[in-house]
């Protein structure tokens, strides 16, 4: 097989890149390790920056998003069981869209299918070759047969555990990492969301978050030790703990029910620099991870795709230097999101060695945010997404 861009990974990054390249007349092939059903069974975050919404519009994959998504003009933060609101619309003129990442992925698959895009599922043993030269290629095994894709460029869209970043020789890449000493226990339940807007809560017992998917599907999280056995968290134990950490009025009206999904995830910040090695470009989770606290993971993948697809279009249009700008441009925006999600994580969670002093500092940080229009504007700018 021969293509212009061989894309490793059929998650949101790879699908969005493939679709935008197609609309610009650039050919690509996606190699995905898992089945489509497996990819679509992963439950991920659900907050889109408006820039991400516009990317999906550009990709002609935003029809259902506009029908079924929920635009939000603000968010609630809470400390000491009392909430205050940050009004994005009033402060920055911007809003966010609540729409599950699984749905985004489904819509992108539909768009690729409608355009006749090539996605090879269950591609095993993907290996990258000739990254330093002018004619890279990728090999993989499907149904016991080895296949080869010759291409101009490779886009590593294969997530944190993928083969792309691992194919860059040691010494050619720097990695920055922070692992947070706690996890999030996430629950999905068929209950009406407790609030019309998201609630991020700081509490001496630990962080809590109320989110949603639709009028009858709630997504809640509480901070827990990352090695807690999941069996310890019965539904009753979860709801009791969640209520303790929320603003009082939210705790009182919380509708509870059976969980339909329950899992504990670790929190980390990670960046690999540069995001290019020869003819390989890293995109999305392959190059960086953020803790979910700022809801930036998918949104950063979208901004990487923005920069890379523009650079590829410019390259094929004759601008031979365009691709050199990809990594520095993407990284500048990524570090802003790394900083913001680190700040939200640090301000809202209880750390294991945190004493009363640190708790008071967090509470005064949040009190400042509650009372200062300047601080709220800064928060709103970051949460709704910095410009591309």
211 in contact with ligand PHB (CB under 6 A): yes
How many CA atoms within 13 Å lie on the side-chain side of 120? 22
Residue 316: active-site member: no
271 binds, among ligand PHB, ligand APR, none (CB under 5 to 8 A by kind): none
How many CA atoms within 13 Å lie on the side-chain side of 257? 14
Comparing C-alpha atoms, which of 95, 42, 46 is closest to residue 213? Answer: 46
Comparing C-alpha atoms, which of 128, 108, 143, 121 is closest to residue 18? Answer: 108
17 binds, among ligand APR, ligand PHB, none (CB under 5 to 8 A by kind): none
Q: Which residue is nearest to ligand PHB (CB)?
A: 211
In the complex, minimum distance from the CB of residue 26 to ligand APR, in angstroms, rounded to a whole number: 19
Contact 177, 269 (CB under 8 A): yes
**Phi and psi at residue 136, in whole multiples of 5°?**
-70, 160
Contact window for ligand APR (CB under 6 A) among 2-10, 197-205, 263-271, 312-320: 2-10
55 in contact with ligand APR (CB under 6 A): no
- Closer Cβ to ligand APR, 69 or 297, answer by number: 297
Q: List the Cα angle 163/166/169 in 5-degree steps.
A: 140
Residue 140: active-site member: no
Residues in 140-179 at the binding interface with ligand APR, rule: CB under 6 A:
157-159, 161-163
Total Cβ atoms within 10 A of residue 349 = 21
Place of tokens 């809003």: 95
In the complex, minimum distance from the CB of residue 285 to ligand APR, in angstroms, rounded to a whole number: 4
Q: Select from 3, 10, 46, 53 the one that contacts ligand APR (CB under 6 A).
A: 10
Residue 292: active-site member: yes
Q: Which helix (H) or strand (E) holds 332?
A: helix 326-348
Residue ranges with strand state E in the chain: 5-8, 28-31, 47-49, 70-72, 74-79, 82-87, 96-98, 118-120, 124-129, 137-142, 145-150, 153-156, 174-189, 199-202, 208-214, 217-224, 259-273, 276-277, 280-282, 288-289
Q: Select from 6, 8, 17, 45 the one that contacts ligand PHB (CB under 6 A).
A: 45
17 in contact with ligand APR (CB under 6 A): no
Number of residues that bind ligand PHB (CB under 6 A): 10
Q: Select from 10, 12, 14, 46 the one that contacts ligand PHB (CB under 6 A).
A: 46
Residue 229: active-site member: no
Contact 298, 48 (CB under 8 A): yes
Q: Select from 47, 53, 222, 250 the one that contacts ligand PHB (CB under 6 A).
A: 47
Distance CA 31, CA 121 (A): 6
168 in contact with ligand PHB (CB under 6 A): no
Q: Select from 13, 293, 327, 384 the one that contacts ligand PHB (CB under 6 A).
A: 293
Which of 200, 220, 221, 326 is catalytic? The answer is 200
156 binds, among ligand PHB, ligand APR, none (CB under 5 to 8 A by kind): none
Distance CA 222, CA 241 (A): 8
Residue 161: active-site member: no
Distance CA 63, CA 336 (A): 30
Ramachandran region, residue 30 (left: φ > 0; alpha: ψ -120 to 50; beta: rest): beta
13 binds, among ligand APR, ligand PHB, none (CB under 5 to 8 A by kind): ligand APR
79 in contact with ligand APR (CB under 6 A): no
The 214-253 contact track toward ligand PHB, x by CB under 6 A, reads -----x----------------------------------
31 in contact with ligand APR (CB under 6 A): yes
DSSP-derived secondary structure letter, 260: E
Distance CA 230, CA 225 (A): 10
Comparing C-alpha atoms, which of 44, 301, 278, 292 is closest to residue 158? Answer: 301
| List of residues contacting ligand APR (CB under 6 A) | 8-14, 31-34, 39, 44-45, 101, 123, 126, 157-159, 161-163, 284-285, 297-298, 301
| List of residues contacting ligand PHB (CB under 6 A) | 45-47, 198, 209, 211, 219, 292-293, 295
* Catalytic residue IDs: 72, 200, 292, 296, 383
């Amino acid at each position: 097989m021969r293509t212009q861009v061989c894309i490793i990974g059929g998650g949101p990054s790879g699908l969005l890149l493939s679709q935008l390249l197609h609309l610009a007349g650039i050919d690509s092939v996606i190699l995905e390790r898992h089945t489509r059903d497996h990819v679509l069974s992963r439950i991920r975050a659900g907050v889109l920056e408006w820039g991400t919404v516009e990317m999906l519009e550009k990709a002609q994959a935003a029809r259902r998003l506009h029908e079924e998504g929920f635009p939000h003009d603000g968010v609630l933060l809470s400390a000491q069981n009392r909430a205050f609101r940050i009004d994005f619309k009033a402060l920055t003129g911007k809003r966010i869209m609540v729409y599950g990442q699984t749905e985004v992925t489904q819509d992108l698959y539909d768009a690729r299918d409608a355009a006749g895009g090539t996605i090879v599922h269950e591609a095993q043993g993907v290996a990258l070759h000739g990254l330093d030269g002018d004619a890279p290629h990728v090999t993989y095994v499907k149904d016991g047969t080895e296949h080869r894709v010759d291409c101009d460029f490779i886009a590593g869209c294969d997530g944190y555990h993928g083969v792309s970043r691992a194919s860059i020789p040691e010494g050619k890449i720097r990695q920055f990492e922070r692992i947070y000493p706690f996890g999030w226990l996430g629950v999905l339940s068929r209950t009406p969301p407790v609030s019309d807007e998201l609630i991020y809560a700081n509490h001496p017992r630990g962080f809590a978050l109320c989110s949603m998917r639709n009028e009858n599907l709630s997504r809640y999280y509480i901070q827990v030790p990352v090695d807690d056995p999941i069996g310890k968290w019965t539904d009753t134990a979860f709801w009791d703990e969640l209520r303790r950490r929320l603003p009082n009025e939210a705790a009182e009206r919380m509708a509870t029910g059976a969980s339909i999904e329950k899992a504990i995830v670790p929190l980390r910040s990670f960046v690999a620099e540069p995001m290019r090695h020869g003819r390989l470009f890293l995109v999305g989770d392959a190059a960086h991870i953020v803790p979910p606290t700022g809801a930036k993971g998918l949104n950063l993948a979208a901004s990487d795709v923005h920069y890379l697809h523009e650079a590829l279009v410019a390259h094929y249009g004759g601008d031979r230097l365009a691709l050199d700008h990809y990594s520095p441009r993407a990284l500048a925006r990524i570090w802003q999101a790394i900083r913001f999600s680190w700040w939200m994580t640090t301000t809202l969670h209880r750390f294991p060695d945190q004493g009363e002093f640190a708790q008071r500092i967090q509470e005064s940080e949040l009190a400042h945010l509650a009372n200062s229009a300047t601080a709220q504007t800064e928060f709103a700018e970051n949460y709704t997404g910095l410009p591309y």
